[in-house]
Structure 1
Amino acid sequence: MEKTDQMVFMLYSSNWMDLSPKFRKHLIILMQMTQEFILAGKQIPVTLATFMSAVKAIYSLLTIMNPSE
């Protein structure tokens, strides 16, 4: 994990803004692919979809538990 963090930092710190748009696009894709995935319980990857599902479920539960006046 430390090596991938170092690689992303080195790529981002390079002079990539002066390179061609195609190369910049590939560089951004590479940096995104090397990022660490967040795991819930070291088993389930937390994506935006799973995070939003959890937020909606918690909001629904809190709404049911705390009825308005």
Structure 2
Amino acid sequence: MKKTVTGLLTGLSWQPDLFEDLGDITTARATEAMILAVSHILRCSHPPCPAPRREEVTQDDHRAAG
């Protein structure tokens, strides 16, 4: 099965050195849960990690716009 998946990914132009073997199907539950953290890890893997931006609108801002 791993050879099949490797062949499919290579056919899609993925670089084999980027493949990460996460184990067999028995690890699927943990893998699916951890995938939720991947985007945060990748975003913060190259310092500095930007803090989330939040625009705070005050009552004064509403009065100035109107």
TM-score by length of 2: 0.30
Q: Which has the higher contact order (CA 8 A, sep 6+)?
A: 1
Larger radius of gyration: 2
Higher helix share: 1
Larger strand proportion, structure 1 or 2? 1
